[in-house]
Structure 1
Amino acid sequence: MYTTYDTSIQSPHSFISQEVFGKAKKMGPDDLVLTLTGENNVDIGRAVINRTGETIAFGGDLLAVTDTQMDREYLLVALHSPALGKQRTQAATGNIIVHLGAEKVGRFLIPIPPFAEQERVFGKVAAALSLLQTYSPEE
């Protein structure tokens, strides 16, 4: 998932029948989904935001974060932070296929400032990332 979508799903890359959609797990617009299984303990617990504007189905070993009062962008940054990365690594089990259970994700310690501060933090992160993307070593 994270190799296809990076940090957001703008447009799904695969589709299913209405019958399968009706039975599948779903995530709404702006919900997050995290990987619970991967080839190493660095890739598990990575998250993307549903930016399609629609409810989409998902399968596999994924966990949706669908009902939170947190700013989704802030939560995404927090989940990808080194502090959460360390928690993901410590919580992971397995060697060849690495797994992270939903109950372990629920025990992650995530700093949750007031909503306005969450938005401000994400704004600073987005500005820094924008600078990095426009940086050219030849300049």
Structure 2
Amino acid sequence: MGAALIKITDGTHHSPPNGESGDFLYISAKNIKHEGVLLDNATYVTKEVHDEIYARCNPEPGDILYIKDGATTGITTINNLSEPFSMLSSVALLKCPTKILNKYLLLALRSPFFYAEMRAGMTGIAITRVTIKKLGNALIPIPPIKEQHRIVEKVSKLMTLCDQLKSCLSKAQTIQLHLADSAVYEVIGEQISNIEVAQDSTEIMKITTTLSLNHEKFDELAIIAPIILELGGSADAKDVWNRTKLSLPEFYAQLKTEIDANYVSKPARADF
């Protein structure tokens, strides 16, 4: 990669005095995010310090910034800042020639293959790092510029499609939660929201009521009653649900069926 790019270097290897005020921004790994350079918790250095660092490492708009040190090694972004700034050595600077599209290089550096290759070669004791030499020796495919544009466009369309699918799944989940609420209403006679949605979209039952058997005779279509029997004749609803492996809407629909069949006692108002 070193032979194909204009420059591969990193920021200063000696952390200079920096603080909340100064003449120029001082950027480190904590500021490098997938969406760009974020200025949360950014610090500043004097013009004298900046000039010394910038003479060797001069990030400009459109350059690639790659975290090469520490736990977040591999995060890479395109510099979205118009103003000049200084960098710490935890961030590498990659400058593309006209024959390499920066958005294409970004995709290549974010690929699972490149990420694994760089992470596998990290060295160091207190803080592991990818060396500038290893970055320079790394191999990446460089198709003709027209093909690079085509790849970037194709990936962009696919990412847009993924976002649309994610939105559709979210809407479907909302409908499912409403169905679950309706099922609860049918079971206990009160319209209460039963489900919270975790960050990973996993359904979580918030009911803490107890389910009990009416009697120990039920047909082969019963799902909930046998579990309650196995648990001693009464059990926490959440524990029973987990054992059924049903979704929440399916569980509540099945619970209503078994209550109507007099297999399971109608629960009192649940504690939500």
Report the TM-score when normalising by structure 2: 0.45
* Separation (CA, whole Å) in 2 of partners of 1:106 and 1:4: 20
Unaligned runs of 5+ in 2: 1-28, 173-272
Number of residue pairs aligned between Structure 1 and Structure 2:
135
Aligned equivalent of 1:8 = 36
Higher relative contact order structure (alpha carbons within 8 Å, sequence separation ≥ 6): 1
Deviation at 1:17, TM superposition (A): 2.6
Aligned equivalent of 1:130 = 160
Aligned equivalent of 2:249 = none
Unaligned runs of 5+ in 1: none
Aligned equivalent of 1:22 = 51
- RMSD between aligned residues: 2.2
Q: Are 2:79 and 1:47 equivalent residues in the alignment? A: no
Aligned equivalent of 2:133 = 103
- Contact map agreement 2:32 2:67 (CA 8 A) in 1: no
Report the TM-score when normalising by structure 1: 0.82
Relative to 1, partners in 2 of residues 1:54 and 1:117: Cα closer, same or farther, differing over 3 Å?
A: farther
Relative to 1, partners in 2 of residues 1:3 and 1:27: Cα closer, same or farther, differing over 3 Å?
A: closer
Deviation at 1:118, TM superposition (A): 0.7
Letter paired with 2:156 = A
Deviation at 1:38, TM superposition (A): 0.9
Letter paired with 1:116 = K
Between the aligned residues of both structures, percent identity stands at 25
Deviation at 1:6, TM superposition (A): 1.7
- Contact map agreement 1:27 1:50 (CA 8 A) in 2: yes
Letter paired with 1:120 = R
- Contact map agreement 1:7 1:47 (CA 8 A) in 2: no
- Contact map agreement 1:31 1:49 (CA 8 A) in 2: yes
Relative to 1, partners in 2 of residues 1:96 and 1:124: Cα closer, same or farther, differing over 3 Å?
A: farther
